Each structure stands twice: as structure tokens, then as C-alpha cells.
């Protein structure tokens, strides 16, 4: 288990709640604070400027990197492979708060690996999520309805997430997200 004074913050929530938007806004708001690190996850999908901010690897390269121990965490979901870079463990050990777009599928592994792992659950009203998913232009209305009907895997028993509602304005969502992140910093506790 990784120790140190830092922590890993996994940002989770159903599609369309604005996880990437909040992460981007917090990255900007906390740009000058070396206590916070924002990492991109690695996905076996081509980078798409209209979707999440991530680094891409093909499946063979992903498998090689995983076998070589280059990832702090890895998981499968939605027919894709996901990972967080190895730098997460070293940043947490250095006392930093590392923020990453995660998945409910990896929360158990993350909590077993990192002594201080927190889950930030982003929520938003269903109609707003539907509008956001439609604006992406990647799915038909029928596919969006099916996606909204699947809320995703539950969090492991005993995990109490920090909940941030992103149903209001962008500014209020980012402010709530940044406030929640700052509350985790030992220097601000």
C-alpha cells in the first residue's frame, strides 16, 4: 500500500455529469499550487478533442506498458482499457493530492493500493446529462437513452464519496469541486 501524506482523488460519476469539465476548471484554478497534480488517464481509444482529455495507446502498447509495471492502476470498462500513469504513486508518496478521472470499476483496487484514496462522485440532473451527451454528437438519441438508463456499478461497500452536484452553472460546479479538493489538503485542514 502506498503511503505518504498525499492522496489519490478518483473522480467518478455517470456519463454527462461534467467530470472532465470540472477537472479542467480545477486544474486552471489550482495551477499555481504544487500540492495538486492532475493526471490524464490512458485509454485504448483515439484522443478526441470533443470527449475526455486522455492519452491514447493501442491495445498491444497498453498490454506491454501494463506488463512492464508502467501504470499505477489499470482497469477495463465499456470495451476499453484504462490506466493511470506510474507517476501517480510517486506524487502521492511526495505528499501531493493527485486528481484523476477514474471509474467505479477501479475504486476497490485504488483503495487497497493507496492508504489515502478519496472518491469524488460528480452528479447532475438527468435532463442536463442527456443534453450534454447529445452535444457530444457521438451517440444517437436511442443510445443516449440506453446510457442514461445504466447508472453504472455501485461503489464498494463502505466507500463514502465526496459528492459534488454539477447541475448548476459551470462556475458554481467548478467552485464546489475546487472547494472539495482544497478540503483534502493537509495544509488547509
The CA–CA distances, whole Å, from 20 to 1, 50, 66 equal 28, 11, 24
Annotation-wise, does 40 bind a ligand?
Answer: no
Annotation-wise, does 159 bind a ligand?
Answer: no
Annotation-wise, does 173 bind a ligand?
Answer: no
Q: Specify which residues 56 forms β-bridges with.
A: 43
- Interhelix angle for 19-29 vs 170-183, to 10°? 70
- Tell me how crowded residue 19 is: count the other CB atoms within 10 A of its CB: 23
Annotation-wise, does 16 bind a ligand?
Answer: yes
DSSP 8-state symbol, 51:
S
Quickly list H helices, 15-163: 19-29, 59-67, 87-93, 107-113, 126-136, 141-149
Annotation-wise, does 9 bind a ligand?
Answer: no
Burial degree of 70 (CB within 10 A; 0-12, 13-18, 19+)? middle
Report the C-alpha gap between 106 and 24 in whole angstroms.
22
Report the C-alpha gap between 2 and 110 in whole angstroms.
10
Annotated binding residues for ATP, written as ranges, equal 13-20
Annotated binding residues, written as ranges, equal 13-20
Amino acid at each position: 500500500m502506498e503511503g505518504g501524506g498525499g492522496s489519490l482523488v478518483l473522480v467518478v460519476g455517470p456519463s454527462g455529469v461534467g467530470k472532465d469539465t470540472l477537472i479542467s476548471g480545477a486544474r486552471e484554478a489550482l495551477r499555481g499550487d504544487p500540492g495538486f497534480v492532475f493526471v490524464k488517464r490512458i485509454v485504448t481509444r483515439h484522443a478526441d478533442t470533443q470527449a475526455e482529455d486522455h492519452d491514447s495507446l493501442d491495445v498491444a502498447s497498453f498490454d506491454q506498458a501494463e506488463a512492464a509495471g508502467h501504470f499505477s492502476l489499470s482497469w477495463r470498462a465499456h470495451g476499453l482499457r484504462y490506466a493511470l500513469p506510474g507517476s501517480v504513486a510517486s506524487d502521492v508518496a511526495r505528499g501531493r493530492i493527485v486528481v484523476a478521472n477514474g471509474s467505479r470499476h477501479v475504486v476497490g483496487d485504488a483503495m487497497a493500493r493507496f492508504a489515502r484514496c478519496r472518491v469524488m462522485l460528480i452528479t447532475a440532473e438527468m435532463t442536463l446529462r442527456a443534453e450534454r451527451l447529445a452535444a457530444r454528437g457521438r451517440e444517437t438519441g436511442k443510445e443516449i437513452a440506453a446510457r442514461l438508463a445504466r447508472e453504472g456499478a455501485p461503489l464498494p461497500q463502505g466507500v463514502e464519496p465526496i459528492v459534488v452536484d454539477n447541475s448548476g452553472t459551470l462556475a458554481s460546479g467548478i467552485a464546489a469541486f475546487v472547494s472539495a479538493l482544497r478540503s483534502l489538503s493537509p495544509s488547509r485542514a
